[in-house]
Amino acid sequence: MKVTLADYSGFCFGVEKAITTTFEELDHKDKSQKIFSLGPLIHNVQVVKELEERGVMVTEDIGSIQEGSVIIRSHGVPKSVYETADKMTLTLIDATCPFVKRIQTIVEEYYKKGYAIAIIGNPQHPEVIGINGWCDNKALIIQEEKEVENVPDVDKLCIVVQTTMSIAQFEKISAVLEKKARLVTKFNTICSATKQRQKAAKDLAEKVDAMIVIGGYHSSNTQKLVSICNDIRPEATFHVETSKDLPVEALKQYDLVGVTAGASTPKWVINEIIQKLRNI
């Protein structure tokens, strides 16, 4: 079996930055200092466990923290979290990815200018929940084209998109959404890491017999990679989190296997899976 790894697999720049910032903070903290992460730092069980062992406590609610430092992960948070931290004199370690920060800034600016805000993305995803918190939670959040029917007509509309959405989905939904307003300002805020990763996965899927997509089962950017590969290799795309999930028997029939990985996947997980594939 020949195994090829797609370009731009594994940690993206935003996740790398969040992890480096957190570990630097842990190296310098004194023993009495408490460090919290608002939600798990990344979608990777092993990394979250290691952080826990080093004293990072995961909480979903900033209101439950009395003292210490709070890490904001790369997904970002609503504006109210900054206000709460300020009131409670908590130290913020802000690891919001610059691509997400840019969306929050756009949304805040256009909301203040009187635009209705539309976010194309998953309403349950922390990044989208965070962005919505920069326009008083008034954004129209659209995940599927059919939901646009329920969107009321507005005068001015600002459209942004979750950083990890697929370009095809963004174009399809925004084209229909644009008809709902007299004046539209549209920003393609899909991050460059996502675009590169999706393109590399698509290119590789076209050249191989089967694709392995590595990443958390709940990771949004990994799910998008699965869907892109599935479109090209519907019978031969396999989503795995660790080497234990590899469907060894099913893979024996393939000569050329491609591998890609979501933005929260550590290098050692990718290497372990490639090694196991090569031994098949």
Annotated binding site for isopentenyl diphosphate: 43, 75, 125, 219-221, 264
Token pair, residue 189, equals: 């805020």
Query: Under DSSP, is residue 107 helix (H, G, I), strand (E, B) or coil?
Result: helix
Cα distances from 72 to residues 37, 46, 254, in angstroms, run 7, 19, 43
Question: What residues form the annotated binding site?
Answer: 12, 43, 75, 97, 125, 163, 191, 219-221, 264
Binding residue for ligand F3S (CB under 6 A) from 116, 263, 273, 274?
A: 263
Q: CB nearer to ligand F3S: give 121 or 258.
A: 121
Binding ligand F3S (rule: CB under 6 A), the pick from 3, 41, 70, 97 is 97
Site for ligand F3S in 57-86 (CB under 6 A): 74
Question: Closer CB to ligand F3S, residue 104 or residue 221?
Answer: 221
* Residue 158: strand pairing partners: 117, 185
How many CB atoms lie under 10 A from the CB of residue 21? 18
What is the residue whose two structure tokens read 């109210």? 80
User: With contacts defined by CB under 6 A, how many residues of the chain interact with ligand F3S?
Assistant: 15
Contact indicator for 190, 140 with CB cutoff of 8 Å = no
Q: Which among 63, 61, 62, 71 has a CA at the least distance from the CA of 92?
A: 71
**Does position 15 bind ligand F3S by CB under 6 A?**
yes
Per CB under 6 A, contacts with ligand F3S among 181-210 are 191, 193-194
Indicate the length of the chain as a whole number: 280
Cα–Cα distances in angstroms (integers) from residue 58 to residues 16, 41, 68, 130, 279, in the given order: 19, 8, 13, 17, 38
Smallest separation, CB 220 to ligand F3S (Å): 9
Residue placing its CB nearer to ligand F3S in the complex, 72 or 191: 191
3-state SS, residue 210 = strand
Q: Which is nearer to ligand F3S, 12 or 51 (CB)?
A: 12
Interaction with ligand F3S in 103-162: which residues (CB under 6 A)?
none
Cβ proximity to ligand F3S: between 143 and 221 the closer is 221
The residue at minimum Cβ distance from ligand F3S is 14
Closest CA to 200 of 9, 30, 70: 9
Instruction: Determine the interface stretch with ligand F3S among 6-14, 49-57, 180-188, 201-209 (rule: CB under 6 A).
Output: 6-14
Q: Which listed range, 93-101, 199-207, 229-237, 269-277, lies at the site for ligand F3S (CB under 6 A)?
A: 93-101
The string of DSSP codes covering 171-182 is HHHHHHHGGGEE
Quick one: which of 3, 5, 6, 12 contacts ligand F3S (CB under 6 A)? 12
Which one is catalytic: 16, 83, 127, 145?
Answer: 127
Question: Rounded to whole angstroms, how far apart are CA atoms 64 and 59?
Answer: 8
To the query of whether residue 127 is one of the catalytic residues in this protein, the response is: yes
17 burial level (CB within 10 Å; 0-12, 13-18, 19+): middle
Q: Catalog residues that contact ligand F3S under the rule CB under 6 A.
A: 12-15, 74, 97, 99-100, 163-164, 191, 193-194, 221, 263
Which residues are catalytically annotated?
Answer: 127
